[in-house]
Chain A
Amino acid sequence: MKTLSLMLLLALLAAPAFAALKGQAAPDFTLESSVTTQPEHTKLDQCKAEVVLIKLWGVR
């Protein structure tokens, strides 16, 4: 039982500490110039009643 508790504690400590946004009002943002196509909208408030995909990614 002690081992199980310890494992649970370790798992909780190892879990990524990030604030979940799902279900919440999306925080506003403004972006500058795109390095490819300059989109018509670069601010969240310009995307009302539309769908927005924000994808964090890396080349490497």
Chain B
Amino acid sequence: MKALPSLQAMWNEYGGKGLNMFLLESQGTEEDKLKTFLAEKGVTAPVFMGGLASYPGDNGLPFAYVIGVDGKVVFEGRGNYEAVIKTELAKIKYPGLGKIEIAKGLEGAAANFVARQYAKAIADCNKVLDKSKDDAAKADAQFIIDRCNAEAERLKARADKFAEEKHYVEAIAALETIAAGFKGMEVATAAADKVKEWKKDKEIKKELDAQVALNKLVEATKNARTKAEKAKPLRDFAKKYEGTRAAMDASVLADKAEAG
């Protein structure tokens, strides 16, 4: 698809800053072939297999839907939707918060939420809850506190999911976000303790070292000219780090490189 580079550029610029992107491969391409195709094109924007029954398009591809900040569909069809996206993005003051307008006096709390300074955001909100007589401000303060707590839960779930897969680099990153963002709170201490515990564990340390080494290898072989140039270092890596999750990942990448 011709638009992939511009979609990737949009993702690089606005992903995590208010734009959520769901690219749905709707021709039933096999997963391995799809992953290889995307890797070759350098696509990291979120791609999913299959379609969505509630967003059927018109039987022709490509087809796009843009949902605006008010939750309504603001574009459907083909053509230039980039301008529509930019117009909607300009309306967002606090990406990720889930609210466009916030009561006066809570702008700092909302900004702290966006900066992932959750403990500061909660402290700002508690002041409003204690002192303000404005019901709307109190409701917004409670809304921000709830959003902070939901973020802690989401990050914990993310850490658990990655740890289950033995992808400890990502799992630790999620816990470190909790530890830094909720500094001084119980949830932060628990996250920091978990990271310390993991880093002391010999098996986990082995997994971590292997994963870091694999990430470096993937980066180093990114521009390999032939299939063999790309696959061989990955096969060697899989032997060297046998028994780790990273070795399994390396073998899968080698298979793809050879099939590519």
- A54 in the interface (beta carbon within 8 A): yes
CB distance from B71 to the nearest CB of A (A): 6
Q: Measured between alpha carbons, how far is A60 from B16 in the docked complex, in Å? A: 29
Contacts of A13 in B (CB 8 A): none
CB distance from B162 to the nearest CB of A (A): 9
CB-based contact A35/B26 at 8 Å: no
CB-based contact A58/B31 at 8 Å: no
One of A28, A35, A37 near B34 (C-beta < 8 A): A35
CB-based contact B71/A31 at 8 Å: no
Q: Measured between alpha carbons, how far is A36 from B22 in the docked complex, in Å? A: 11
CB-based contact B81/A53 at 8 Å: yes
- B233 in the interface (beta carbon within 8 A): no
* CB closest chain-A residue, reference B43: A36
CB-based contact B45/A51 at 8 Å: no
Contacts of B44 in A (CB 8 A): 36-37
One of B10, B72, B99 near A26 (C-beta < 8 A): B72
Q: Measured between alpha carbons, how far is A59 from B149 in the docked complex, in Å? A: 40
Query: B69-92 interface mask toward A, CB cutoff 8 Å, 1 = contact, 0 = none?
Result: 101111110000100010011001
CB distance from B226 to the nearest CB of A (A): 23
Interface centre among A23, A29, A33, A51, by most chain B C-beta atoms within 10 angstroms, is A51
- Asked, given contacts A21-B55, A21-B65, A35-B31, whether A26 binds B22 with beta carbons under 8 Å apart, the answer is no
CB-based contact B29/A54 at 8 Å: no
- Asked, given contacts A39-B21, A48-B71, whether A55 binds B46 with beta carbons under 8 Å apart, the answer is no
Interface residues of B in 46-64 (CB under 8 A from A): 46-49, 51-52, 54-64
CB-based contact B68/A21 at 8 Å: no
* CB closest chain-A residue, reference B11: A37
CB-based contact A23/B20 at 8 Å: no
CB-based contact B22/A49 at 8 Å: no
- Asked, given contacts A25-B72, A34-B46, whether A53 binds B59 with beta carbons under 8 Å apart, the answer is no
Q: Measured between alpha carbons, how far is A51 from B192 in the docked complex, in Å? A: 33
Contacts of B22 in A (CB 8 A): 31, 39, 52-55
- A2 in the interface (beta carbon within 8 A): no
Q: Contacts A22-B75, A52-B19 given; 8 further ones with Cβ under 8 A?
A: A50-B69, A52-B67, A53-B19, A53-B65, A53-B85, A55-B21, A57-B23, A59-B25
Report 19 cross-chain contacts, Cβ distance below 8 Å, ordered by A residue: A16-B58, A19-B56, A21-B76, A22-B76, A23-B73, A31-B48, A36-B38, A36-B44, A39-B20, A48-B98, A48-B99, A52-B67, A53-B21, A53-B22, A53-B81, A56-B61, A56-B62, A57-B1, A57-B61
A interface residues with partner B (beta carbon < 8 Å): 16, 18-29, 31-41, 44, 47-60
Q: When A and B form their complex, which 9 residue pairs have the shortest distance between CB atoms, in order from nearest?
A: A58-B27, A27-B54, A52-B67, A16-B58, A48-B98, A21-B73, A34-B46, A26-B67, A57-B62
